[in-house]
Amino acid sequence: MTRVALAFSGGLDTTVCVPLLEEEYGYDEVIGVTVDVGQPESEFEEAEETAEALGLDHYVVDAKAEFADLCLDGVRANATYQGYPLGTALARPVIAEAILEVATEQDCDGVAHGCTGKGNDQLRFEAVWRDSDLEVIAPVRELGLTRDWEKQYAAEKDLPVEGGNEGDWSIDTNLWSRSVEGDELEDPSYVPSPEIYDWTAEPTGESEEIEIAFENGYPVAVDGQEYDPVELIEYLNDLAGSHGVGRTDVMEDRMLGLKVRENYEHPAATTLLNAHESLEGLVLTQEERQFKQQIDQQWAQKAYEGLVDAPLVGALEGFIAKTQGRVTGTVTIRFEGGKARPVARDSEYAAYSADHASFDTETVGKIAQEDATGVAKYHGFQRRLANGVLENDDDETAEGDPVELATDGGTVDAADAGSTEDDQ
C-alpha cells in the first residue's frame, strides 16, 4: 500500500489535494500533517475538523520551540528582507523538516504540499524534502489549478471547505509574523483598511518604556523578567502590538521574479531587531559593524530562500557568533506612535567612553585636540587632487594654463610655482 504525507492546513488548497492525490497520483492513503509554529488555535481546530470529515489520519507536531530558536538566530543576524522581518520564510524549513520526520516514521512513499507554482513556499518546502528519497508532489502546481477550479471541485466532491470560501485575504500566521495578501490588496494603489490587522492596534499618543536584556546577542529578559524564547516573543507581540508597532506594507520581489504586494504584522520582531541593532552599535567597532551588514544581508537572503542549513549560512554564523559574545547588556525601548525606538543602551563591553567623547573634556585620553590638525589636512587629499586635475583640464581648454595642487590642499598657478616639464 502506498502512502503520502500531505502538509495539511484544512484550507481549500490542501483539502482538494486529498482526493487528487488518490485519484490523479494513485496513492492508496493520504495522511495529513499540521505543524504548530504559533498559529491561532482556530486553525488547528479547522484542520482537525476537516481531517475528520475527510477520514484523514491527522498528525499535529509542536515545533514552536525550534521555530522560536531560529527566529532569535535571525535577531543576531539582524535578518530582514527588503525592509521587513522574515517570518514565513523562517517557518517553512521548520515545517518541512517536521513533516518529513512524520513521513519517515509512517513509512510514507511521498510528501506533498498545496503550493502554487508562483510563490516561494514551494521552493522552501522542496529544498528540505529533496534531500530524502521520497517522491515530492505538488498537485496545485503540477495540475495547473486555479482557486475557481478548486472551489468548483470542492463543491462537486462535497468537500468540507464551506464552498471554498476562506475570506477575502490569504493569511499566514506564526509566532514571528502575520502576513496578509490577496483580493484588493493585490492592487498597489489600494489603501488597506484597518480591518486587515489583527495583532496591531491603531497607534495612539500614549507611550511606554521597557528594558530588554541580551546575552551573547540573544534577548533573554524584559524588565528583569526572564522568558524562554516562545514566551518572550508572545509577550512582546501582545505588548508592542498594543502600541501599533510592527506594520509593513511592501512590494516584495519573490524568488521566481514576480513582484507582489505583501502586508505584514511583526510587533515582537520589530522590537527585538531594533533593540539588538542598537546594542551592537554600542559594543562593536566601526569595521565590525560595516562588515557585519554584508554578513547579515547574506544570512537574510539565504533564510528568505529557505536555505538556512546551507554551508554558507554556517560560515556566516561563525562570524556572527564571534561578534555576539560582546552583544550583552540592556536596551531601553520606547513604544510611541507605532514605533519601537531605542532610547538608552548599556553594556560592560561598550566600545565607548563618555569622557573621551564629551565636549566638556579637553583631551581624548593622551591625545590632544590639536593632534587632529594633521588628520584634517590629509582628510580629503585625494578628492582635492582629483578635483584639481579636473579643474586643470577645464582651464587648459579655456586658457591653456595648467593648475597644480598645493601641498596644503589649495591650488596655485603652475607658472607661479616655477614648475617646468622636467619638474613634472
For the chain, give the mean pLDDT. Answer: 90
DSSP secondary structure, 10-75, as one string = SSHHHHHHHHHHHHTT--SEEEEEEEESS--HHHHHHHHHHHHHHT-EEEEEE-HHHHHHHHHHHH
Asked whether residue 97 falls in the same domain as residue 219, the answer is: no
Contact between 103 and 95 under an 8 Å Cβ cutoff? The reply is no
Asked whether residue 98 falls in the same domain as residue 229, the answer is: no
Residue count of the chain = 424
Q: H or E stretch including 124?
A: helix 121-129
Q: Residue 166: its pLDDT value, please?
A: 47
Domain assignment present for residue 16? The answer is yes
Asked whether residue 194 falls in the same domain as residue 314, the answer is: yes
Asked whether residue 344 falls in the same domain as residue 210, the answer is: yes
Residue of 36, 73, 121, 296 marked catalytic: 121
Mean pLDDT, rounded, for 49-61: 96
Read off the pLDDT band of 164 (50, 70, 90). very low
Q: How many domains does the chain have?
A: 2
Q: Is residue 12 a known part of a binding site?
A: yes
Q: Is residue 236 a known part of a binding site?
A: no
Read off the pLDDT band of 419 (50, 70, 90). very low
Asked whether residue 195 falls in the same domain as residue 77, the answer is: no
Q: Residue 415: its pLDDT value, please?
A: 42
Query: What cell numbers appear for 207 in the block?
Result: 507611550
Asked whether residue 134 falls in the same domain as residue 183, the answer is: no
Q: Is residue 242 a known part of a binding site?
A: no
Q: Residue 163: its pLDDT value, please?
A: 38
Over residues 129-162, the pLDDT tens digits come to 999 999 999 999 999 999 899 999 999 999 997 5
Catalytic site residue 170?
A: yes
Cα dihedral sign, 180-181-185-188: positive
Q: Residue 147: its pLDDT value, please?
A: 86
Domain assignment present for residue 421? The answer is no
Domain assignment present for residue 361? The answer is no
| Domain hosting residue 131, numbered range | 3-170
Catalytic site residue 121?
A: yes
Asked whether residue 162 falls in the same domain as residue 284, the answer is: no
Asked whether residue 70 falls in the same domain as residue 86, the answer is: yes
Domain assignment present for residue 372? The answer is no
Asked whether residue 102 falls in the same domain as residue 197, the answer is: no
Over residues 170-200, the pLDDT tens digits come to 889 999 999 998 888 989 999 999 999 999 9
Asked whether residue 192 falls in the same domain as residue 115, the answer is: no
Domain assignment present for residue 417? The answer is no
Q: State the pTM of this model.
A: 0.87
Q: Residue 181: its pLDDT value, please?
A: 87
Backbone phi, psi, residue 72, to 5°: -75, -25
Domain assignment present for residue 157? The answer is yes
Asked whether residue 195 falls in the same domain as residue 142, the answer is: no
326-335 CB burial, b ≥16 within 10 A, e <16: bbbbbbbbbb
Rounded to whole angstroms, the Cα distance separating 392 from 390 reads 5
Asked whether residue 20 falls in the same domain as residue 166, the answer is: yes
Catalytic site residue 189?
A: no
CA nearest neighbour of 38 among 175, 177, 231, 199: 175
Q: Is residue 116 a known part of a binding site?
A: yes
